Amino acid sequence: MRPSWSALLVILPLAAQVPDKIDIAVDGKPFTTFYSGADVNKPYLWPLRSADGTIVTRRWPMEKDTGESHDHPHHRGLWFSYDDVNGVHFWGNDPSQSAKDPKSGKIVTKKASLSGGAKRKTLTTVFDWTGPDGTALLHENRVTTFPSDPQLRIVDFDITLTAAETVVFGDTKEGAFAIRLADSMTETRHGGQMVNAEGSRGMKDVWGKRSNWVDYTGDVGGEKVGVTIFDAPSNPRHPTYWHSRDYGLFALDPFGQHAFDPSQPESHWTVDAGKSLRFRWRVVIHPGDAQSAHIAELYKKWSQEPGVRSQESQP
């Protein structure tokens, strides 16, 4: 008797599909969306909103005809990338730019899932930083947490980069963990102001300096709102250098050194194959300015949390 074909049929699981976008709500209200489709050369969160729904990120180029500035099309929402990994460019790699750059890389999303309940959500993601030939230079595991808060929007990032081969991070200001703020918040156009943990104010005294945190406050629709980024004491090269510009780029860069301070030697940060770097950063979106939002106190409390406070060996 011949076996039936149905008896021989084996059902194979389909490969998990990575969604092009994942919407994220906090306290039942829209907060941001994670974008990672095939036409996205590096994943990003956009837009970012305050607790009352005010959008604090630039809308262009995701939206057209917004009346905003049209510089730097690779500045999309909130992202993490760097422009010199074994000479491959992961910073200025927007699709509109990469076609003209033979050294342009792409950060490919391999896995992405959202979990959690009403009080806390967690976005778990896995990426490959790939060169122009598609070969992975870095594997990235990222856990992004969105806790509940009645007045603040807090986002915690726990990022581990593992070298797929020996990699060298070159010394450039073009990086790394970054937000492009709404035009109306900017220092140069609308009187916004940045301040760091030492109390220095304005781009002249904040850009290229090392600090535990920087806050960037401005007006959106008549409301004063601020965004702060915290650098964890456990991070390599803490406190980090800041690449914060008066036109609205708000970034920190742990890999650059001479690019920010010419008195320092040029950095060639080498990570051997299989070895890892781990970074933790916190973003706080708050009403008012850094003083009224008690940012210094919030940083002190966060910096004492387990894992955040422990100091790792410095490269």
Taken in order of first residue, the domains within the chain and their CATH numbers are 24-303 (2.70.98)
Q: 159 has which bridge partners? A: 142, 279
pLDDT, tens digit, 9 for 90 and up, residues 262-310? 999 999 999 999 999 999 999 999 999 999 999 999 999 999 999 898 7
Q: Phi and psi (nearest 5°) for 88?
A: -90, 140
Is the pLDDT at 314 greater than 90, yes or no?
Answer: no
pLDDT, tens digit, 9 for 90 and up, residues 16-33? 688 999 999 999 999 999
pLDDT of residue 168: 98
pTM, two decimal places: 0.93
Total residues belonging to the chain = 315
The mean pLDDT of the chain is: 93
Q: Phi and psi (nearest 5°) for 212?
A: -70, -35
pLDDT, tens digit, 9 for 90 and up, residues 1-60? 444 434 444 444 444 688 999 999 999 999 999 999 888 999 999 999 999 999 999 999
pLDDT, tens digit, 9 for 90 and up, residues 135-189? 999 999 999 999 999 999 999 999 999 999 999 999 999 999 999 999 999 998 7
pLDDT of residue 191: 83
| DSSP letter string, the chain | -PPPHHHH--PPPPPPPPPSEEEEEETTEEEEEEE--TT-SS-EEE--B-TT--B-B--TTTSSS-SS----TT--SEEEEES-BTTBB-SS--HHHHTT-TTB-EEEEEEEEEEE-SSEEEEEEEEEEE-TTS-EEEEEEEEEEEE--SS-EEEEEEEEEEESS-EEE---SSEEEEEEB-GGG-HHHH--EEEETT--BSHHHHTT-B-SEEEEEEEETTEEEEEEEEE-TTSTTSSPEE---TTSEEEEESS-STTT-TTSPPP-EEE-TT-EEEEEEEEEEEES-TTTTTHHHHHHHHHTSTTTSPPPPP-
Query: How is residue 198 written in tokens?
Result: 């030492």
